Amino acid sequence: MVDLVIYGAGGFGKEMHEIFMDVFGSEGNGRLVGFLDDTPALSGADFRGSKVVGGVEWLADHPDVQVVIAVGNPKSRRKVVTKIGRFGPRTFPNLVHPTSWLGSGIEFGEGVTIAAGCTLSTELMFGSHVFINKNVTMGHNVILRDFVTVAPSANIMSGSVVEEEADLGTNCTVLPNSRIGQGSVVGAGAVVTKDVPPGVTVVGIPARVLQKKR
């Protein structure tokens, strides 16, 4: 049995705890030691029936404990992983909810989480620290790079590539063979019909770049 902690004692931590319990409750091979959070006021607090055992520095004295990251924002998630790396090598487990369906030939990085009710086709590639929320559908030969977040009920069609730190909103659709640029945000309900450049936000049907007000 492995010991694990969940980093993040907020709303997203609650959701990740549910996924954790459904995965390890059925497998019975993981024990939740507690939560980590760098908010000093939370240290020692009760959270979801466990304790907030401390901030990320707690890991210095617990080198064998695996870490589940409960941070939704891709850039913030990368910062947490970098901070954890200062305390030596660490294992980040992959969590796949038992109600999700996955096809064959899927490659995983580390720290990938797939929530309940997803339908993911074949020949997919997921980088490290990817989070796929509830009821996402995905066609064949899709690539998600490191630190991508996909919100509930998004539909990513075949052959699409989502670059690092991109954030795809609830109920959005990415049409086949599209590329979402690094760090870009796809708004809720948007329909991506062509490539999205890096570092922009797109909204609407069809999705267009949201221009910042001057």
On whether residue 66 sits in a domain, the answer given is yes
On whether residue 212 sits in a domain, the answer given is no
Choosing from 85, 119, 147, the residue where a domain stops is 85
Task: Print the domain residue range for 76.
Answer: 2-85
Judge if 131 and 154 occupy the same domain.
yes
On whether residue 144 sits in a domain, the answer given is yes
Judge if 108 and 194 occupy the same domain.
yes
Query: Which contacts (CB < 8 Å, 24+ apart) does range 21-25 have?
Result: 22/97, 22/98, 22/99, 22/116, 23/95, 23/96, 23/97, 23/98
On whether residue 209 sits in a domain, the answer given is no
Domains in the chain: how many in total? 2
User: What pLDDT does 27 receive?
Assistant: 57
CB contact at 8 A, 150 and 144: yes
Judge if 147 and 60 occupy the same domain.
no
Judge if 104 and 185 occupy the same domain.
yes
Judge if 98 and 186 occupy the same domain.
yes
Q: Which CATH number characterizes residue 99's domain?
A: 2.160.10.10
On whether residue 120 sits in a domain, the answer given is yes
User: What pLDDT does 93 receive?
Assistant: 96
Choosing from 44, 60, 85, the residue where a domain stops is 85
CB contact at 8 A, 208 and 194: no
User: What pLDDT does 26 receive?
Assistant: 57
User: What pLDDT does 11 receive?
Assistant: 94
pLDDT means per 10 residues in the chain (214 residues)?
Answer: 94 95 78 95 94 96 96 97 95 96 97 98 98 98 98 98 98 98 98 97 96 62
Judge if 122 and 168 occupy the same domain.
yes
Judge if 114 and 60 occupy the same domain.
no
Judge if 73 and 108 occupy the same domain.
no
Judge if 75 and 119 occupy the same domain.
no
On whether residue 111 sits in a domain, the answer given is yes
Classify the C-alpha dihedral 11-15-18-19 as positive or negative. negative
Judge if 79 and 149 occupy the same domain.
no
Choosing from 20, 50, 85, the residue where a domain stops is 85
Judge if 29 and 103 occupy the same domain.
no
SS (H, E, C) 86-125: CCCCCCCCCEECCCCEECCCCEECCCCEECCCCEECCCCE
On whether residue 11 sits in a domain, the answer given is yes
Judge if 46 and 8 occupy the same domain.
yes
On whether residue 173 sits in a domain, the answer given is yes
Residue range 56-113, pLDDT digits in tens: 999 999 999 999 999 999 999 999 999 999 999 999 999 999 999 999 999 999 999 9
